[in-house]
Structure 1
Amino acid sequence: MADLQDRKMKDAAMRAKINQKLVETGERERLMELLRTRLIECGWRDQLKQHCKDIVKQKGLEHITVDDLVAEITPKGRALVPDNVKKELLQRIRTFLSKQSSV
Structure 2
Amino acid sequence: MLKNRRQSVNRPPTPDLTDDQAKVPTLQEVINIKLIESGEKEQLMELVREKLTECGWKDEMETICRAYIKKQGRKNVTLDELVRVITPKGRASIPDSIKAELLQRIRTFLVSAAL
Q: TM-score, normalised by structure 1?
A: 0.87
- Per the alignment, residue 49 of structure 1 pairs with 62
- Which residue in the other structure is 1:60 paired with? 73
Equivalent in the alignment of 2:86? 73
Task: Return 5+ residue gaps in structure 1 as ranges.
Answer: 1-8
Alignment coverage as a number of residue pairs? 92
User: Residue 32 in 1 paired to residue 45 in 2?
Assistant: yes
Rounded Cα–Cα distance in structure 2 between residues aligned with 1:39 and 1:28: 16
Structure with the larger helix share: 1
Write the distance in 1 (CA, Å) between the matches of 2:60 and 2:37.
Answer: 33
Q: CA RMSD in A?
A: 1.1
Q: What is residue 21 of structure 1 aligned with on the other side?
A: 34
- List, as ranges, runs of 4+ consecutive aligned residues in structure 1 with deviation greater than 4 Å: none
Residues in 1 aligned to 2:80 and 2:103: alpha-carbon distance in whole angstroms? 29
Q: Structure 2 unaligned runs (5+)?
A: 1-21
Deviations 1:14-58 (A, max 9, x none): 000000000000000000000000000000000000000000000
CA shift for structure 1 position 98: 0.5
The structure whose RCO (Cα within 8 Å, separation 6+) is larger is: 1
How far has the Cα of 1:74 moved from its partner?
0.1
SS of the counterpart of 2:26? helix
Q: Distance in 2 between matches of 1:42 and 1:79?
A: 15
Bigger Rg over Cα: 2
Give percent identity, aligned residues only. Answer: 50
